[in-house]
């Protein structure tokens, strides 16, 4: 099966234009699947093998959402094998996805966001960069991979918007807002040249060595800044994306507009934030109403 897996992953990259992160996740799941199957030809795989693999993942404590993602990878692989004539069977056709409780995303309060974005910073190049990245992330709801991959040419400060390429290589325009525009402008004028160190780069945000920043590097930055600001909520770059969407809806934005800004292909992905706002309203009522 290894050679079929190589063909499938190449198909995802070249023909489907899947993101590198997606292909990497599918590769991990499918390699575990092939290891479970052992020496097997495509037509020798049965639905019981698929359910056995999913049961093994469950026994290892793998969450329903992760098992569902693994099943999605298996389905795509077997549909590919069937369509390309490498197999006459699709053992995943009758398998149902694992069911689990959908976890509500963690969201910062308005006060926590203000504390994070207003935390004391030095005027050094790295501090000005961090300030701009945090402001931009909360103002636009970008994914962290989109943030660290932003190019200079994709940001228009005078018009107040940026263009990013999200999942499936889809472009979208997102407003930046006054605070993010100001912080980004200060970074460009006072810090980026110092970080560049006489090198050449098309990227907007640079590491202290003048190259591109990794997602892990920014993860460490946001953790550090949250600690300095006294934010106790567990935080990650995605927390600011969740907060961006939730705060927009809480203040009256329509769901369709938020979907477009987040780059969700399906409105159902955005609807999770309506549940978040309802839960937050219930908590506010319980905390502050005399008979809550």
- Cβ 104 vs Cβ 275: under 8 Å: yes
275 pLDDT band (50/70/90 cuts)? low
| Residue 277 CA to its chain's centroid (Å) | 20
Burial of 218 (0-12, 13-18, 19+ CB in 10 A): buried
Q: What is the mean pLDDT of residues 129-134?
A: 94
Q: Do domains 2-83 and 110-288 have the same CATH topology?
A: no
Model confidence pLDDT, tens digit, residues 146-171: 999 999 999 999 999 999 987 777 88
Note the pTM of the prediction, 2 decimals. Answer: 0.62
Q: Are 162 and 174 in contact (CB under 8 A)?
A: yes
Q: What is the mean pLDDT of residues 111-115?
A: 91
What pLDDT was estimated at residue 231?
87
pLDDT at site 207 = 93
Distance CA 131, CA 115 (A): 12
User: What is the dihedral sign for C-alpha 269, 270, 274, 276?
Assistant: positive
Catalytic residues: 143, 167, 238, 241, 264, 273
> Does the structure show a pLDDT above 70 at 7?
yes
pLDDT at 277: 67
Residue 123: the pLDDT is 75
202: pLDDT strictly greater than 90: yes
CATH of 2-83, one of 3.90.550.10, 1.10.150.130, 3.60.20.10, 3.40.50.410: 1.10.150.130
pLDDT (0 to 100) of residue 97: 65
Position 100 pLDDT exceeds 60: no
Instruction: Please report, in angstroms and rounded to a whole number, the separation of the first and last CA atoms in the chain.
Output: 59
CATH topology classification for 110-288: hpI Integrase; Chain A (1.10.443)
Residue 121 above 80 pLDDT? no
Instruction: Kindly state the average pLDDT of the residues 125-138.
Output: 93
Q: What is the mean pLDDT of residues 119-141?
A: 87
| 102, pLDDT greater than 60 | no
CA distance 143 to 212: 16
pLDDT for res 279:
66
Condensed to tens digits (0 to 9), the pLDDT of residues 13-52 reads: 887 777 888 888 889 999 999 999 888 888 888 899 889 9
Domain map of the chain by residue range? 2-83, 110-288
Q: Which of 8-22, 93-107, 140-154, 234-248 has the highest mean pLDDT?
A: 140-154
Determine whether 37 is exposed, middle or buried from the number of CB atoms within 10 Å of its CB (0-12, 13-18, 19+). middle
Average pLDDT, the chain: 85
Mean pLDDT of 101-124: 78
- pLDDT at position 288 is 62
Distance CA 117, CA 229 (A): 8
- pLDDT at residue 234 above 90? no
Instruction: Tell whether the model's pLDDT for residue 281 goes beyond 80.
Output: no
Measured CA distances, 218 to 21, 100, 139, 230, 232 (Å)? 17, 31, 16, 18, 18
Indicate whether 120 pLDDT > 80: no
């Amino acid at each position: 099966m290894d050679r079929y897996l190589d063909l499938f992953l190449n198909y995802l990259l070249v023909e489907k234009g899947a993101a590198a992160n997606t292909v990497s996740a599918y590769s991990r799941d499918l390699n575990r699947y092939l290891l479970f199957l052992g020496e097997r030809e495509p037509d020798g795989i049965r639905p019981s093998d698929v359910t056995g693999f999913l049961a093994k993942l469950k026994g290892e404590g793998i969450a329903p959402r992760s098992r569902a993602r693994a099943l999605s990878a298996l389905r795509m692989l077997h549909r590919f094998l069937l369509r390309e004539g490498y197999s006459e069977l699709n053992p995943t056709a009758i398998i149902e996805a694992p069911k689990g409780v959908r976890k509500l995303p963690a969201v910062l309060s308005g006060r926590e966001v203000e504390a994070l974005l207003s935390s004391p910073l030095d005027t050094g190049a790295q501090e000005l960069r961090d300030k701009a990245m945090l402001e931009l992330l909360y103002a636009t709801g970008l994914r962290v991979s989109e943030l660290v991959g932003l190019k200079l040419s994709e940001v228009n400060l005078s018009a107040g918007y940026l263009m990013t390429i999200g999942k499936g290589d889809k472009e979208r325009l997102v407003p930046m807002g006054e605070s993010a525009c100001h912080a980004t402008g200060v970074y460009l004028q006072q810090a980026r040249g110092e970080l560049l160190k006489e090198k050449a780069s098309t990227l907007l945000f640079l590491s202290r060595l003048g190259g591109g920043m990794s997602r892990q590097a920014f993860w460490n930055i946001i953790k550090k800044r949250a600690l300095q600001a006294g934010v106790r909520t567990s935080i990650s770059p995605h927390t600011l994306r969740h907060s961006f969407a939730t705060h927009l809806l809480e203040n009256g934005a329509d769901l369709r507009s938020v979907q477009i800004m987040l780059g969700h292909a399906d409105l159902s992905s955005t609807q999770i934030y309506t549940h978040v706002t309802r839960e937050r309203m219930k908590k506010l009522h319980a905390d502050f109403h005399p008979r809550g």
